[in-house]
Structure 1
Amino acid sequence: MDDYEPLGLDGSDLDEFLSMPMETAERLALLTLEKAYGMLRLLVTVVQEGGPLSREADRLAKAIAVRIPSEN
């Protein structure tokens, strides 16, 4: 993977990442668990605060949560 670039937090990158036709393990290789947990915490905070982005944040949080092991 010489052309590997870490996934940024840009929403378009995340949508592209979540729609990739790969197995879960291959997807996780592109996003570290540490980043996934951080992103999930951020999205959950946005959902809890409400507002115009909460519906999209909830959708993305659920999509990430089913793809990573529990943080506990």
Structure 2
Amino acid sequence: MDDYEHLDPDGADFAPVDRTAERLTLEEAHDLLRLLLVIAQEGEGSLSREAGRLAKEIAARIPSEN
């Protein structure tokens, strides 16, 4: 079961989004993914688990480098 099914977008307190902000380039997304993987592998505790979770989410959304 996906945790996202239980989110109430109207009740969530999200940070405001700047609609003029640039999106990550594919190269930047791969750099971020590599950084998160290092933190996930070398870190400890909740930070490591969160980095691993975010790495999986990003990896599922961007094309591979090859």
TM-score tier by shorter-chain length is: 0.5 to 0.7
Give aligned pairs, total. Answer: 47
List per-residue Cα deviations over 1:26-46 (Å, max 9, x = no partner). xxxx22101100100000000
User: TM-score, normalising length from structure 2?
Assistant: 0.64
The one of 19, 32, 39 aligned to 2:32: 39
Cα distance between partner residues in 2 of 1:38 and 1:45? 11
| Aligned residues: CA RMSD | 1.3
Q: Which runs of 4+ in 1 moved over 2 A?
A: none
Percent identical among aligned pairs is 62
Residue 48 (structure 2) pairs with residue 54 (structure 1) = yes
- State the one-letter code of the partner of 1:54: S
Residue 64 (structure 2) pairs with residue 67 (structure 1) = no
- Greater CA drift, 43-52 or 56-65: 43-52
Structure 1, unpaired ranges of 5+: 7-29
